[in-house]
Amino acid sequence: NAVLSLDDETAARGVATHSSGNHAAAMAYAASIRDIPCTVVMPDAAPEIKVEAVRGYGAKIVFCKQSEREETCERVVVETGATLIPPFDDPRIIAGQGTAALDLLEEVGDLDAVVTPVWGGGLLAGTAVVVKSLRTQAIVYGAEPEAVDDAYRSLETGVRQPGVENPETIADGLLTGLGELNFEILRERHARIVTVTEQAIAEAARFHLERMKLVVEPSGATGLAALRAIVPEIFGMKVGVIICGGNTDFSWMAR
């Protein structure tokens, strides 16, 4: 949505972003549609399958440490003149990601709750805007690993908390801290965060694969893990879960 909304003169200078993989691939693909340059800053520990996907869509990759993503991306923007497309803290990104919930409600309109993974908050914020606009009484849940619990702490305290430093989780797509704009949207729309254990995430990802025949990376499986964790709270409700992310080499299964 963000890339396609750029005017031709701006787009011609190219785009840049930072991402561990999923937003990176989306950016690279969108840039290929417009036939414009795309540079993606990725953490050096990003899964190879995500790196190859970004390369496959034609983007240039710059590697750095996880904690240096934003700083490195700023340098790339200065050096290349590209337009920065943030991975989550941007109205265009939030609007684009919110279409997943819009599609869900158009297909299944009478939901009482919607669950989605949360990292920087773009998908969850977009979901909250859509759901609370069309189903005002519905509850919006964000699913977050216990190891990266800044969104939970932020909404519990009412103050945006810093991201966890050097987090370790099999949900590698959810390492980013909650964005400022995203936090405000989630707070205003009373989103709730459910934290889940590493074991719960792995079991949910295996369930998707073995029982549902769906390839879902651990980050995307946090939604099902959260759903299982709040069964007493949602018993009797009609609940939708947004499953986001299928970029995995299954190395998490060996753990």
- Taking only the tens place, the pLDDT of each residue in 60-75 is 999 999 889 889 999 9
pLDDT tens for residues 69-100? 889 999 999 999 999 999 999 999 999 999 99
pLDDT at 255: 74
pTM exceeds 0.85, yes or no: yes
pLDDT at 22: 84
pLDDT tens for residues 134-145? 999 999 999 999
Residues in the chain with pLDDT values less than 70: none
Question: What angle do helix axes 150-157 and 180-188 make, rounded to 10 degrees?
Answer: 50
pLDDT at 249: 85
pLDDT at 252: 87
Q: With CA atoms as reference, report the closest residue to 154 among 181, 126, 116.
A: 181
pLDDT at 172: 87
Number of C-beta neighbours around residue 78 at 10 A: 10
Question: CB within 8 A of 14, min separation 6: which ones?
Answer: 31, 36, 37, 38, 39, 80, 81, 82, 83
Task: Pull the structure tokens for residue 101.
Answer: 């919930």
